[in-house]
Amino acid sequence: MRKQIAAANWKMNLTLSEAGTLLDELLKTPYSLKENQEAIFAVPAPYIPLTIEKLSGNNNFFVAAQNCHQKTSGAYTGEVSATMFASMGVKHIVIGHSERREYFMESDALLAEKVDAVLTIGSTPIFCCGEPLAIREAGAQNDFVAEQLKSSLFHLSAEQLLNVVIAYEPIWAIGTGKTASSEQAQEIHAFIRTVLAAKYGQAIADQISILYGGSVKAANAVELFSQKDVDGGLVGGASLIATEFTAIIKALK
């Protein structure tokens, strides 16, 4: 059974005090996550120790880093390696978010290195893919996303791929208030699974969790997550509101 995941991406938001308050508000609600359900919090790096402490004792709640450097160590001032995050207890690292690709010019080749770095230390990459508006309007989203997957993931063995979570981000729906319809989300998630199956076989593809990452809210989470190939969400703005993200966690199927 595939993991169903509600992943919060706080991006570069909140002070330390505000982060603690948000976590306290979220944890006021009792959660009874099933064995295949997870809530993951990708928080700013300075807040990782606080988040680990707050989430302690909550089954299937995990902390993620929002990015990492591709090297294990070295003269890379200001960077943090996957090894460093793992030593703090971080089990998941977001790789290739659209903002990293756009603002920091991260290439598919670089992201392949980062995926390797995360897998090497036994953590789980949450690998992001997705198309901008111009590509969607041209009807070229399938080819665009397939190339991202092939360039950054297809060097992996089947065994390695099983430790990867994929997050599909329609970039045109991030921070814009626009959301892909549940049918659009299902269509591209099913396509992604088809691409994986062509390389690794259907049995492997059917085990990979694929999250939807475009303006997920409490109001649309149940419908989105009910789709056959949508295994949860990578949630931005709504994850900064306790009542919203609580409802999103509870919407997991």
Tell me the catalytic residues.
97, 169
* CA separation for the pair 208, 203 (Å, rounded): 9
Are 53 and 33 in contact, with CB atoms under 8 Å apart? no
- For 110-124, the three-class secondary structure string (H helix, E strand, C coil) is HHHHHHHHHHHCCCE
List the structure tokens of 238.
Answer: 């709504």
> What DSSP character marks residue 31?
-
126-195-222 Cα angle (round to 5): 55
Cα torsion 47, 50, 52, 54: sign: negative
Axis-axis angle for helices 218-225, 242-250 (nearest 10):
20
